[in-house]
Amino acid sequence: CGATSRVIRCAECMVDPLPLAAVRSAGLLRGPLRRAVHRLKYGGRRPAAASLAELLLAPVAQLGPLPPDAVVVPVPLHPDRRRERGFNQAEALAAPLAAALGRPLRPAVLRVRATPTQVGLSRAQRRANVRGAFAPAESLPAQAVLLVDDVTTTGSTLGSAAAACLEAGAAAVYAVTLAREA
């Protein structure tokens, strides 16, 4: 989940691992980064996404070299939430990141079930909340996937989206987020 070093898994990931090769974040969800994430996500500050996406280059580098066929996949919003917000913040971050990495951006995952907000839910509740919320939108035969989202708390959303990528045939799924809750 990125909460500890590359070598050691956190206690929660040892007991209940996610279907992800690795997750890295640009920083902790506090201070200026928290404000920037909230302004992007809830304030509709889409133009800031390109600058914020630059912060994702360091965590991508921490993952090590990605396979040459790796594709960038934003974590999708349910269509109702996207209409409400006017855009998908993960997609707004993923597009400039894909361009900077020279990798294709692929909408390879669909959000097929609306879910209540994850805020305030426990790890188990978050896992249950997003179980079955994602489905493959296209085939990813033996490709590596770099999932992109704004925030990771327990990794439940990333794990559920990663499961859909693996179902689509992905060889491995890595993830990067702007921020991680401490």
In terms of pLDDT, which residue wins out, 4 or 50?
50
In this prediction, residue 62 carries a pLDDT of 92
Token reading at 102: 């020279």
Helix (H) or strand (E) holding 4: none
% the chain with pLDDT above 70: 91
Report pLDDT digits (tens) over 18-64: 889 999 999 999 999 999 999 998 887 888 899 999 999 999 999 98
Average pLDDT of the residues of the chain: 88
Distance in angstroms (rounded) separating the CA atoms of residues 30 and 37: 10
Whether residue 15 has pLDDT greater than 70: no
Whether residue 144 has pLDDT greater than 80: yes
Distance in angstroms (rounded) separating the CA atoms of residues 47 and 44: 9
In this prediction, residue 2 carries a pLDDT of 59
In terms of pLDDT, which residue wins out, 18 or 99?
99
For the beta carbon of residue 126, count every other beta carbon within 10 angstroms: 21
**pLDDT tier at 13 (50, 70, 90 boundaries)?**
low
* pTM recorded for the entire structure: 0.89
CA distances from 176 to 20, 75, 116, 149, 180 (A): 11, 11, 23, 7, 10
